[in-house]
Amino acid sequence: MPGSTPELTRNAVDVLPEGRLAEQLQGERPLRVKLGIDPTTADIHLGHTVVLGKLAEFQAAGHTVVLIVGDFTARVGDPSGRSASRPVPTPEEIEANATTYQEQAFKLLDPARTEVRRNGEWLDMRLDELLRLMGTTTVARLLERDDFQKRMAANAPIAAHELLYPLLQGYDSVAVEADVELGGTDQKFNLLFGRDVQSAYGRPQQSIMTLPILVGTDGVRKMSKSLGNYVGVTDPPAEMFGKLMSIPDEAMDEYFRLLLGEDGRPPGPPNQAKRELGRRLVERFHGAGAGAAAEAAFDRVFVERSVPDDIPAVDLGGYLGDGDGAVHLPRLLAGAFGISSSEARRLLAGGGVKLDGEPLAADPLDLPAAALAGRVLQVGKRRFARLHAAG
């Protein structure tokens, strides 16, 4: 098979068992390389693309990519890296997220050569089948994972359904006949456990590969939407570029290595390296020319201190009160920028909302529409809306 072991293991943290993947690559048939993603949030961010990018490398080398969208395991909740039980999305949220995850994954994977499966196909099983699966291991083995050890040491609860997660993920490998499974370093226990489940069902055991977890834009914690330090693959070009420009200098080597496949950031001033990173990643997800346009928009706002040309227009007519001609600011902010009313109030209280470049006061919350029409509303550093009179 094409694709040597050193090429495919570049940037990997663990490739286990030692030597197994090299043996598999010497075989005559393409390997079935599995990645499972639970659709617990609406978007894929750059942290997810580290593993997706490695999956794409296997695909380019001629192997079969199996992308499992965990519509069933999302209902259980992966305990990896968690100090408490993970909140469970509603069925409607899971379905909506599953659709967007698949669409966004295809920004890196070739749709025509990707086998997409939802594990609800096989995990919505009868009780006797579930009991057989549970009988393949022991509670002591499940409690070996570091996350559970830490919770027990802190007297924090472990919900019974969380113990099922590695069993269910392991059964995914049985169902799709996985030869290799990829994941972040926080997935090491689950990936190795999949080998146990395969063995219990009389199937050949997969090799596993773990990849580093990308640090977020704060340069400290792992990239996460819940932490607000993420760059989404569907972020608008200017927003994506702006977020990347905010990354600490110390994180640049990691971003170039894990996202662009370079040995590290290029020589020269850190600011220029960030600009190159921003241009290249914006182009990857938004197409040719998008990177330069996003950089120009960034310079207009932050270097020239001007407002971007292509900001959305908001009609104030949809936000008027009952005949008094006043606009309720939290409602306007929620509609214009897709945030909650409580978040809008918090931003106002913290001086994070500007009107024509000047901070808006937290009080009053209702302003005449005539005082807002024709002006530019701004939230944070990169989000703008031009306000128009009703009608």
For residue 368, is the peptide bond before it cis, meaning its omega torsion is within 30 degrees of 0?
A: no
Is 185 part of a structural domain of the chain?
yes
Is 229 part of a structural domain of the chain?
no
- Specify whether the CB–CB gap between 46 and 229 falls below 8 A: no
Is 23 part of a structural domain of the chain?
yes
Is 367 part of a structural domain of the chain?
yes
Give me the residues paired with residue 115 across strands: 66
Total tally of structural domains belonging to the chain: 3
Q: Same domain, yes or no, for 121 and 251?
A: no
Q: Same domain, yes or no, for 269 and 381?
A: no
Distance CA 231, CA 280 (A): 14
276 to each of 240, 242, 270, how far by Cα in Å? 13, 12, 10
- Specify whether the CB–CB gap between 109 and 54 falls below 8 A: no
Q: Same domain, yes or no, for 295 and 319?
A: no
CATH number, residue 375: 3.10.290.10
Distance CA 246, CA 137 (A): 46
Helix (H, G, I), strand (E, B) or coil at 386: strand
Where is the domain boundary, 275, 302, 329?
302
pLDDT (average), residues 188-211:
96
Q: Same domain, yes or no, for 282 and 321?
A: no
CATH number, residue 10: 3.40.50.620
Q: Same domain, yes or no, for 317 and 295?
A: no
Closest CA to 76 of 209, 189, 167: 167
Is 284 part of a structural domain of the chain?
yes
Domain interval for residue 337: 313-388
Is 232 part of a structural domain of the chain?
no
pLDDT in tens, 68-115: 999 999 888 776 655 555 667 788 888 888 888 888 899 999 998 999
pTM > 0.85: no
pLDDT in tens, 3-38: 567 789 999 999 999 999 999 999 989 999 999 988
Q: Same domain, yes or no, for 19 and 121?
A: yes
Is 341 part of a structural domain of the chain?
yes
Q: Same domain, yes or no, for 253 and 126?
A: no
Virtual torsion, Cα 239, 244, 248, 252, nearest 10 deg: 180
Element (H, E) at 114: strand 114-118
Residue, of 329 and 389, whose pLDDT is higher: 329
Q: What pLDDT, on the 0 to 100 scale, is given for residue 12?
A: 94
Residue 133's pLDDT band (cuts 50, 70, 90): very high
- Specify whether the CB–CB gap between 299 and 308 falls below 8 A: no
Q: Same domain, yes or no, for 378 and 246?
A: no
Distance CA 19, CA 320 (A): 67
Q: Same domain, yes or no, for 296 and 319?
A: no
Task: Give the range among 148-152, 192-196, 268-272, 381-385 with minimum mean pLDDT.
Answer: 381-385
pLDDT in tens, 288-334: 999 999 998 888 776 656 666 677 888 777 777 655 677 888 888 88
Is 346 part of a structural domain of the chain?
yes
| Count of helix runs (H) and strand runs (E) in the chain | 18, 13
Q: Same domain, yes or no, for 374 and 277?
A: no
Q: Same domain, yes or no, for 72 and 94?
A: yes
Q: Same domain, yes or no, for 250 and 355?
A: no
